[in-house]
Amino acid sequence: MTSVTLVNTCRLLLRQAKNSKVSGTHHSGCLPRLASLHHQRHQSTTTVTLIPGDGVGPELMDSVQTVFKQMAIPIEWEELFVSEIHKSRMVSLEEVVASIKRNGVCLKGVISSPHRADYGELQSVNIKMRRALDLFANVVHAKSIPGFPTRHENLDFVIIREQLEGEYSALEHESVPGVVESLKITTRERSYRIAKFAFDYAVKHGRRKVTAVHKANIMKLGDGQFLESCEEVSKLYPNISVDTMIIDNCCMQLVSNPWQFDVMVMPNLYGNIVDNLGAGLVGGAGVVTGENYSQDSVIFEPGARHSFQEGVGRNIANPTAVLLAASKMLDHLNMHEYASRLANAVYNVFKLGKVRTRDMGGQATTTDFTNAVLDTIDYDAAT
C-alpha cells in the first residue's frame, strides 16, 4: 500500500468515525458503510488496458488508480509500458494491440513522438497503434467547467477528427536533394465513415448541428471529396442542421464566437490543431478529455496530447483530464454510478475553488488535487 493510499484510507475512516459520533452510534453508522465498500471490492472485475505514457503520464495514472482503489471500483488494470522515448523498455506493439483487442477498453496517457525520423521510420507508435486497431475517430469534448473562469464561458462543443489518413499517412520521400514530398491521402470510404460517425454522435448526444471543416477551396480533390462525403451523409439526417467552414475561418470563429459550434467534423491535421485550440478555450490541456473509437475498441485519454516533460517528478500536473477521461470510461463500461460519483467529485473541487493546480492559477500539487477529489466523493451513494 502506497503512502498516499494509506493516508487516504485513514482520512476516510476518520470521516466515518466522525459521522458515527454525530449520529450517536458507534457501529451502525460506520460498519455498514465499510461493509458496502468491502462488498463492492468483491464484485466481478473488468480488465482495462492501462498505458501510462510519457512525461507526467505515470503520475497522473497514479492519481486515477488511487481514486479507483479508494472508491472500490471493480477495475483490474493490465498495465503496459509504451514509449518512443524509452524504446528499449517498451513492450511490443503486438502485445499492446492484443491487450486492447482482448479488453476492448484502454485508459492511455500521452505518448510523445520524436521530431525526427529514427532510422528512416516515419510512422510513430501512435500512428501504428491507431492503424492496427482501426481507431478511425478521435473525439474531444471542449466544455467549460463551472467554477473555473476562462476568457469564454459556457462553451460546449465536440471536435470529431478522422485520424487514419490525411497528412498523417506517413508517406514522405526526398525526390531530389533538398526537396521533400509529403503525400496527403484522402479516401471516400474513410471520409464517409467519419462523417457518418459525426452525425450518429450528434443524434445520440442530442446535438443539433454538425459543421464540416475543410480546405476544399485549395485542395479541391482531397478536401473536396471529404466535403462531398459530409454533404451526402447529411441527407440521411434531416433533423440535424449542417454547415461547412474553411479551416482558417474556423480558427478565427472559434476565438471570436465559439458558441456557434456544436459538433465539428474534420480531416486529420485540422482536427489536431482545432483540438488544442478548443482545449485552450476552456482552460488548457489539463482539463479536456479525449476518446478514440474503432468498431471494437475504445481508448480514453487526455484530449490535448501534451506529455508535459518539464513537469516530471515535480508533482504539479493537473489530473483533471485523466480523471474525467476515466469517468467517461466507466460510463462506457456501464458503471454509471461510479462514473457519476467520480465526475461530480472532480467538478465539486472546481466549484469549491480551494484547490487549484498551477495551470489553473493556484499552487496545489497533483497529490493535493487527488486528495481533494477523494474528500468530495459521495461514499454513501452506493450504500
The predicted-structure confidence for 37-85, as pLDDT tens digits, reads as follows 444 444 689 999 999 989 999 999 999 999 999 999 999 999 999 988 7
Three cell numbers, residue 270: 485540422
CA–CA distance, 294 with 193 (Å, rounded to integer): 11
For residue range 333-382, list pLDDT tens digits in order: 999 999 999 999 999 999 999 999 999 999 999 999 999 999 999 766 54
3-class DSSP state of 241? strand
43-139+288-383 with 151-282: one CATH topology? Answer: yes
* Sequence-ordered strand ranges (E) for the chain: 46-51, 75-79, 105-108, 137-143, 156-162, 172-176, 179-182, 209-214, 241-246, 263-266, 289-293, 298-302
For residue range 106-162, list pLDDT tens digits in order: 999 998 776 666 655 667 888 999 999 999 999 999 999 999 999 999 999 999 999
For residue range 224-266, list pLDDT tens digits in order: 999 999 999 999 999 999 999 999 999 999 999 999 999 999 9
Predicted TM-score (pTM) of the model is 0.85
Domain boundaries, the chain: 43-139+288-383, 151-282
Question: Which stretches within 206-363 are classed as H helix?
Answer: 222-234, 247-256, 268-282, 320-332, 336-352
Three cell numbers, residue 381: 451513494
3-class DSSP state of 131? helix
Give the per-residue pLDDT at 26: 34
Least confident of 86-95, 96-105, 294-303, 364-373: 86-95
Within 10 angstroms of residue 380's Cβ, the number of other Cβ atoms is 11
CA–CA distance, 32 with 136 (Å, rounded to integer): 46
Give the per-residue pLDDT at 68: 97
CA–CA distance, 293 with 312 (Å, rounded to integer): 29
Q: What is the DSSP secondary structure assignment for residue 91, as one 8-state letter?
A: P
The CATH homologous superfamily for domain 43-139+288-383 is: Isopropylmalate Dehydrogenase (3.40.718.10)
Among residues 371, 373, 299, which one has the least CA distance to residue 341? 373
Does the domain formed by 151-282 have CATH 3.40.718.10?
Answer: yes
The CA–CA distances, whole Å, from 121 to 116, 118, 173, 181, 352 equal 9, 5, 12, 16, 48
Three cell numbers, residue 191: 471520409
Beta bridge partners of 138: 161, 292
Rounded to the nearest integer, the mean pLDDT of the chain is 87
